[in-house]
Chains A and B, each alone.
Chain A
């Protein structure tokens, strides 16, 4: 197992370097002029040229790439945002907790409600409970996030006055964003759980467990669910890796200054240091998330753990 983790860490480094190269190249060839945005419409061509010069944007591709790679991986300095004038890392560190609150909360809701609904639907296959649950899931998948977000604001803020519509002043500000960000994931998880449950529902060992007199809850939780979890974990792992990328739409609608909004603003404003740093960070996080998913396979499935023990690598 340890060998496997080391092996994955080695590939993590390769992935990060490749990601850095790709994102730098994409941004280099993306049209748009950061100096024009920074200086505004009053600036003359000379002003724009001078600022681009001072930002190093007139250097050749290789020079800029080399400087970026050296600063990022040797000096571990992702630079200063051209717009915000603050260290990229410091600003990301400030915004990350807000994004994680929304992301992790929505993952928890995803797990609790998604799996519960999926089990409920799967164990009532063909009945009205199954149809109703899947109907609700389809509704959740169909509704765009921003529409749900705005409708919730109209209802809970404008009509009922229960919840604040924007900002980060209190915990109440996060209720609607979390719900809006969760619905889609709950629906997907519910559908996937239902499918997985149905696959194991008629297995011999389930029949045996029932025949032995196990309570239905035990049958579901101790026999069905562990065997049905593998695809669910894969899906949740992918969702988790996107948590730090934030949900730019939700953050924009609810005016939450998180990582998603930070990156969106930076892309629109051609704030290259921020975009590069954010993409690298997402890549690292996604790679670590996938590693954790693979490790969890071993924890859940003794067969995979045995494989690791025998061979030290995944087939």
Chain B
């Protein structure tokens, strides 16, 4: 009797362990933006003229015109609750804008400009002018007040930038030399070099928050910031809940001048921190939240064919890539081996397994400057040919050794790595997979003996910026691009394309072709972010840079 009972308990335990294993933040959610290596150094004052629509996979959402909404009546919705899967940690304006800070800080703080990837649009800045190639003047509005009534002037702007630089958390500030006041509402930026790259000032102008020096020195901005944004922080419980209230004294009273992402269509925003994806699904089902960051594709069946929920897919800017170690210490240096690997990969299959969409020209067709003709061309991203792969492998120096593939620790990367391993095994290439957490990936990328292949994601705001981490040699200390690529021709082509004057179809196409001729990288899929929300929301809103913005969303009022 006891033995039987013990056996039953053991079986129950094994089943429990197998049932309980595995959380999921599958690749179709905004959660993946946390692991995305943002590389948007593109865009400046250029208008891109690609031929792509926004990938055609964005769901068409029908708003019921017979029902009153916040956009038709101009009223605010009462309260919306969203869930994020990781803590925002603090609300300091000095911290780098990484992780889930996007979900909260953007409502409270404002910058001089916003960027859509190619153009700067003024938020606090009324105008800017180029005095000479090293000096730009920016004039802010003269009626900017924060939520406590402090008047924002040029002195505050100078203080903000100097404090940000001294804080040490600034990113991509290598062109910033200094800032000084010209008059009460005008500041002069001095650069270390001429600004000629696409969106080169994104971090300086669009990611540096502006706030009152007086409020900063007298208050605690980590938990109770005072700023100019459309929302104020009413409650801040680290790791648990953040409540934002619409700022009734928002300084910008001219509706026509309020940019995307700065509207106040809801009175109260409640942001719950719910790390567990299953919890978010339950919370959405119970009506405790209206949208969840981690409510992903594998919970689709729960909400499909249910009129109380809307499933919305939006193509994303994140691209998933495979590249290798070109240091000379890996078989990857052999171009025939690279081509063998790339022709053996089926990006359609890999994308489908991760509920993503296949890429065909080293980038996402989401970008407005993507040329549709690229998807028609024949190359290793559009052709899956194991016979051709075998031919290239035969020509290569591969002798049957195991190649090491490193990837991030999330489910998407691991899935991808396993599929790549299986596909390469079909042509006789042995792959050993090693996954590493995000904090350790850099140590692999800077050690030329630690990997042969590497799978990860990056993003941008335009085609050329999506290639920044892959093809640009200025982000790593050794002057090479990712994967120890030291091709001077590539860097020259990239730098030429990444300029305001050089960002043309000819240069972009030439760069793409050069990368593919040399088989430097394989971009196999792009993110197709999935959003599931309940019937309160008529239409989900987004910032100019693609992050969800509930203040920008449209709600039913009945």
Contact = CB atoms under 8 A, between A and B. Distances in A.
Contact of A154 (B10, B96, B282): B282
B273 A83 contact: no
B222 A85 contact: yes
Minimum-distance CB pairs A-B, first 5: A257-B239, A40-B98, A41-B37, A45-B477, A147-B20
A50 B164 CA distance: 13
Interface residues of B, number: 66
B98 A41 contact: yes
A252 B275 contact: yes
Interface of B: 1-2, 5-6, 9-10, 12-13, 16-17, 19-20, 35-40, 87, 89-90, 92, 95-99, 168-174, 203, 222-223, 237-241, 272-276, 278-279, 282-283, 285-286, 288, 437-440, 442-443, 458, 469, 474-477
A50 B97 contact: no
Interface stretch (A107-115, A161-169, A177-185, A294-302): A161-169
A42 B38 contact: yes
B282 A37 contact: no
Contact of A252 (B89, B174, B276, B469): B276
B283 A43 contact: no
- Which of B87, B89, B99, B237 is most buried by chain A, counting CB atoms within 10 A of its CB? B89
B95 A85 contact: yes
A47 B172 contact: yes
Contacts of A51: 168-169
B413 to A, nearest CB: 14
A135 B164 CA distance: 61
A104 interface: no
Contacts of A153: 278-279, 282
Interface string A156-174: 0110010011111100000
Contacts of A201: none
Contacts, number: 171
Contact of A144 (B17, B168, B288): B17
Contact of B437 (A154, A165, A268): A268
A147 B241 CA distance: 25
Contact of B97 (A31, A32, A40, A143): A40
Contacts of A261: 239
Contacts of B474: 44
B168 A46 contact: no
Given A32-B440, A44-B172, A265-B87, A255 B272 contact: yes
A13 to B, nearest CB: 32
Contacts of B439: 32-34, 36-37, 268-270
A44 B41 CA distance: 11
A262 B239 CA distance: 9
Given A43-B96, A44-B171, 19 more contacts: A38-B98, A40-B38, A40-B97, A40-B171, A41-B469, A84-B90, A84-B222, A85-B90, A86-B238, A94-B238, A135-B5, A147-B19, A153-B278, A161-B286, A165-B286, A168-B240, A255-B274, A265-B87, A268-B439
Nearest to B239: A257
Interface residues of A, number: 61
Contacts of B279: 153, 165-166, 253-255
A142 interface: yes
B27 to A, nearest CB: 16
Nearest to B2: A131
B171 A47 contact: yes
A91 interface: yes
Nearest to B479: A45
Contacts of A256: 240
Given A253-B276, A265-B87, A168 B237 contact: yes
A268 B475 CA distance: 24
A139 interface: yes
B286 A257 contact: no
A14 interface: no
17 contacts: A32-B440, A34-B439, A46-B477, A51-B168, A84-B90, A142-B9, A142-B16, A144-B20, A147-B19, A161-B286, A165-B282, A167-B241, A253-B279, A255-B272, A255-B273, A255-B274, A268-B439
Given A31-B440, A252-B275, A257-B273, A42 B240 contact: no
Contacts of A89: none
Interface string A123-156: 0000000010001001100111011001001100
Nearest to A265: B87
A38 B95 contact: yes
Nearest to B92: A85
Contacts of B20: 144, 146-147, 150
B24 to A, nearest CB: 13
Contact of A257 (B1, B87, B170, B443): B87
Contacts of A158: 282, 285-286
B17 to A, nearest CB: 6
